[in-house]
């Protein structure tokens, strides 16, 4: 059996829950995850809880954040941002850096795009990553995203990195 097909059967996109907080708190102690996602390492638990509560109770019309489950355990989140006119920006964050590079992000992105397409009618996806984030770039290109620009830069893993914008039309 195709390893990616097998992996995709273990991945599920689902609504976030407040009882996911203990897992999110662990992510806040993972230096690699925090550095890659612009999180402050060892965030104040009360502040982090308030932020998570906002994520769980999201009411924005142009933003959706879903949990990524792998083998029935929350391992990250997937975002659809700037939702407008059948277009959305896709974002994926795997909270446990030990799971990076195993295809979870790729399969999660496919799941989130299928959700966006079927439930919201999204036909155009945008994405952005850092030039230094080679795994993310390879993932986007494997899915079929095409580089459309290189505008801006920001810190990634402690270094300034060029931002790369991508687009995919279904």
Residue 18 DSSP class: G
Biggest CA–CA distance in the chain, Å, is 45
Pairing outcome for strands 124-130 and 73-84:
unpaired
**Least confidently predicted of 108-112, 135-139, 151-155, 156-160:** 156-160
pLDDT digits (tens, 9 = 90+) for 23-73: 999 999 999 999 888 888 989 999 999 999 999 998 788 999 999 999 999
pLDDT tens figures, 60-111? 889 999 999 999 999 999 999 999 999 999 999 999 899 999 999 999 999 9
Quickly count: other Cβ atoms within 10 Å of residue 64's Cβ: 19
**pTM of the predicted protein model:** 0.91
């Amino acid at each position: 059996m195709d390893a990616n097909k097998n992996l995709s059967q273990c991945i599920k996109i689902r609504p976030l829950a407040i009882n996911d907080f203990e897992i999110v708190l662990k992510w806040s102690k993972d230096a690699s995850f925090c550095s890659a996602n612009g999180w402050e390492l060892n965030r104040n638990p009360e502040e982090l809880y308030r932020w998570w509560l906002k994520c769980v109770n999201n009411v924005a019309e142009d933003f959706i954040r879903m949990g990524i489950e792998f083998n029935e355990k929350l391992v990250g989140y997937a975002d659809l941002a700037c939702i407008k006119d059948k277009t959305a920006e896709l974002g994926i964050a795997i909270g446990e850096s030990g799971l990076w590079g195993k295809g979870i992000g790729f399969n999660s992105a496919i799941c989130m795009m299928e959700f966006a397409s079927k439930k919201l009618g999204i036909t155009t996806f945008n994405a952005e990553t850092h030039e230094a984030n080679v795994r993310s770039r390879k993932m986007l290109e494997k899915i079929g995203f095409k580089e459309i620009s290189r505008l801006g830069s920001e810190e990634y893993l402690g270094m300034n990195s060029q931002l790369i914008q991508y687009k995919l039309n279904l």
